[in-house]
């Protein structure tokens, strides 16, 4: 009986050795980077639906962390740095629909005298609820039964919706048994929907642990490994969250005037609503209106042209709209001649619009000759495209 009591006492003594409790409030304030705008714009597209953190609360995490990024009033332990990183991650995650869970491993009072402990079952994520889960990580003690934690995760994740990110915070040091086979079994169970991300919280003497964590991420085939110092800053943590929870999206380019041509390709901004435009966003009549060396608009072409009908419609629908009618030519002929021809073309279109009931006071004309080609004059098709009249609104 006495021997049994001594054995239990000895085990408790070993488990308690290195057991440390330290508040993360000694850290300097962390200002998270806002990722919400990137999500709303489509620059980031959600790829992870559940994240499940596995925390190393073994005795080696009780040692002082010697890396960078976590200065404060006291020298933090690796355990405290892990909690701080989870807190910073939690602050950085934007407002998206997620599920989350948290499991830790070690032994002693820190894990309720078990080798691994489920601190938060997989549940609907909120920043507040996950913060509460982080606060249950009160200390670090015992050995390093990480394999047990990954085994338990197979059951923990049974109800996890969608794609899963398993995130391990550890120094990769003194593992009782290599967890490689356990990570492989977890991956085989959940397949392509599961990725493993590892964060190394180690010191120089434990740098071999970084390679261990890298191998665990490699097993999943879709995760990656990083370090505590790399993700300590606002930018570093934002990069980690962006890559673990999201994938790059395609940002829809802005079309300010709503003419169907994005701003970066729109050579004629502020086109009035409803106007039919060409491929560069200009409200214009091209070669169909004018033959070579001509400013005459045939009745058949003008009255039946969808572009001409559209111009009349837009002007009538917008009674306050005023426009400058701009004439252009191809490069054949002299500059002086082409200047006059472009002016005659602008005036010809003005006359047609006035015939259709448009107040001439709303219309001004200007010729540009051959100076502003819309495309190359090297081909007959290009020259026809450059024989044009286009509109520029003057009421803005």
Look up the CATH number of the domain holding residue 30.
3.40.50.410
Tell whether 169 is covered by a domain: yes
In this structure, are residues 385 and 287 in contact, taking their beta carbons and an 8 Å threshold? yes
Q: Are residues 236 and 318 in the same domain?
A: no
Q: Are residues 75 and 122 in the same domain?
A: yes
Q: Are residues 219 and 113 in the same domain?
A: yes
Q: Are residues 340 and 363 in the same domain?
A: yes
- Identify the domain boundary among 202, 220, 248: 248
Tell whether 6 is covered by a domain: no
Q: Are residues 276 and 241 in the same domain?
A: no
Tell whether 15 is covered by a domain: no
In this structure, are residues 127 and 15 in contact, taking their beta carbons and an 8 Å threshold? no
**Helices 234-245 and 78-92 meet at what angle, rounded to 10?**
70
Domain ranges, residue 232: 23-248
Q: Are residues 283 and 240 in the same domain?
A: no
Residue 288 burial by CB count (10 A; 0-12/13-18/19+): exposed, middle or buried? middle
In this structure, are residues 93 and 127 in contact, taking their beta carbons and an 8 Å threshold? yes
Tell whether 8 is covered by a domain: no
In this structure, are residues 217 and 174 in contact, taking their beta carbons and an 8 Å threshold? no
- Pairwise CA distance, residues 326 & 343, whole Å: 8
Q: Reduced to 3 states, what is the DSSP secondary structure of residue 52? A: strand
| Tokens encoding 103 | 């499991």
pLDDT of residue 82: 97
Tell whether 329 is covered by a domain: yes
Exposure of 382 in the CB half-sphere (CA atoms within 13 A): 11
Helix H or strand E segment including 84: helix 78-92
Helix H or strand E segment including 357: none
- Pairwise CA distance, residues 21 & 138, whole Å: 6
| Tokens encoding 65 | 């962390």
Which residue, chain included where needed, has tokens 């819309």? Answer: 374
Q: Are residues 57 and 206 in the same domain?
A: yes
Tell whether 255 is covered by a domain: no
Question: Which candidate, 183, 242, 214, places its Cα nearest to that of 48?
Answer: 242
Q: Are residues 114 and 142 in the same domain?
A: yes
pLDDT of residue 187: 97
Tell whether 14 is covered by a domain: no
pLDDT of residue 331: 93
In this structure, are residues 233 and 260 in contact, taking their beta carbons and an 8 Å threshold? no
CATH assignment of the domain containing 303: 3.30.1330.60
pLDDT of residue 290: 62
- Pairwise CA distance, residues 374 & 244, whole Å: 46
Q: Tens of pLDDT along the chain (396 residues)?
A: 333 333 333 344 444 444 544 444 467 789 999 999 999 989 999 999 999 999 999 999 999 999 999 977 678 999 999 999 999 999 999 999 999 999 999 999 999 999 999 999 999 999 999 999 999 999 999 999 999 999 999 999 999 999 999 999 999 998 888 999 999 999 999 999 999 999 999 999 999 999 999 999 999 999 999 999 999 999 999 999 999 999 999 877 888 888 889 988 998 888 888 888 888 888 876 654 666 666 666 554 444 466 678 888 999 989 999 999 999 999 999 999 999 999 998 898 898 889 889 999 999 999 999 999 988 999 988 888 888 888 889 988
- Identify the domain boundary among 213, 248, 283: 248
Helix H or strand E segment including 258: none
- In Å, how far are 237, 330, 341 from 334, measured between CA atoms? 64, 10, 10
- Pairwise CA distance, residues 98 & 91, whole Å: 14
| Tokens encoding 279 | 């491929």
Cα Dmax for the chain: 117
- Pairwise CA distance, residues 215 & 16, whole Å: 31
**Number of domains composing the chain:** 2
Q: Reduced to 3 states, what is the DSSP secondary structure of residue 68? A: coil
- In Å, how far are 122, 134, 155 from 130, measured between CA atoms? 10, 6, 20
In this structure, are residues 62 and 203 in contact, taking their beta carbons and an 8 Å threshold? no
In this structure, are residues 52 and 102 in contact, taking their beta carbons and an 8 Å threshold? yes
Question: Which candidate, 331, 15, 66, 48, places its Cα nearest to that of 196?
Answer: 48
- In Å, how far are 176, 287, 383, 385 from 380, measured between CA atoms? 79, 10, 5, 9
Helix boundaries (H) for 157-294: 180-190, 208-220, 234-245
pLDDT of residue 298: 52
Q: Are residues 145 and 209 in the same domain?
A: yes
Report angle CA 260, 382, 366 to the nearest 5 degrees.
Answer: 70
Q: Are residues 174 and 299 in the same domain?
A: no
- Identify the domain boundary among 188, 215, 248: 248
Q: Are residues 242 and 280 in the same domain?
A: no
Q: Are residues 220 and 175 in the same domain?
A: yes
Tell whether 11 is covered by a domain: no
Question: Which candidate, 237, 201, 238, places its Cα nearest to that of 67?
Answer: 201
């Amino acid at each position: 009986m006495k021997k049994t009591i001594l054995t239990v006492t000895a085990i408790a003594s070993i488990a308690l050795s290195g057991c440390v409790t330290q508040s993360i409030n000694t850290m300097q304030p962390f200002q998270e980077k806002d990722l919400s705008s990137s999500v709303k714009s489509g620059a980031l597209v959600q790829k992870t639906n559940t994240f499940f953190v596995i925390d190393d609360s073994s005795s080696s995490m009780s040692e002082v962390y010697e890396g960078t990024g976590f200065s404060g009033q006291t020298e933090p332990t690796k355990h405290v740095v892990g909690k701080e990183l989870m807190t910073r991650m939690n602050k950085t995650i934007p407002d998206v629909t997620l599920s989350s869970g948290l499991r830790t491993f070690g032994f002693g009072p820190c894990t309720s005298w078990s080798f691994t402990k489920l601190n938060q079952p997989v549940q609907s994520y909120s920043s507040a609820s996950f913060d509460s889960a982080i606060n249950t990580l009160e200390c670090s003690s015992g050995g390093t039964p990480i394999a047990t934690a990954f085994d338990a995760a197979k059951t923990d994740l049974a109800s996890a919706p969608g794609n899963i990110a398993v995130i391990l915070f550890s120094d990769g040091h003194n593992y009782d048994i290599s967890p490689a086979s356990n990570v492989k079994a977890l991956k085989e169970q959940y397949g392509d929907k599961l990725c493993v991300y590892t964060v190394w919280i180690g010191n120089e003497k434990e740098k071999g642990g970084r390679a261990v964590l890298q191998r665990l991420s490699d097993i999943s085939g879709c995760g990656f490994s990083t370090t505590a110092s790399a993700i300590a800053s606002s930018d570093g943590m934002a990069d980690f969250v962006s890559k673990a929870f999201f994938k790059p999206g395609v940002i829809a380019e802005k079309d300010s005037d709503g003419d169907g041509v994005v701003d970066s390709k729109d050579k004629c901004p502020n086109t009035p609503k409803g106007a039919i435009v060409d491929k560069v966003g200009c409200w214009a009549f091209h070669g169909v209106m004018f033959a070579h060396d001509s400013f005459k608009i045939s009745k058949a072409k003008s009255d039946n042209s969808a572009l001409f009908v559209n111009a009349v419609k837009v002007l009538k629908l917008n009674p306050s709209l005023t426009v400058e009618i701009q004439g252009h030519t191809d490069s054949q002929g002299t500059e002086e001649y082409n200047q006059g021809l472009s002016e005659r073309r602008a005036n010809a279109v003005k006359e047609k619009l006035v015939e259709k009931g448009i107040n001439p006071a709303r219309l001004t004309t200007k010729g540009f000759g051959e100076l502003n080609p819309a495309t190359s004059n090297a081909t007959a098709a290009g020259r026809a495209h450059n024989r044009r009249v286009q509109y520029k609104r003057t009421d803005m």
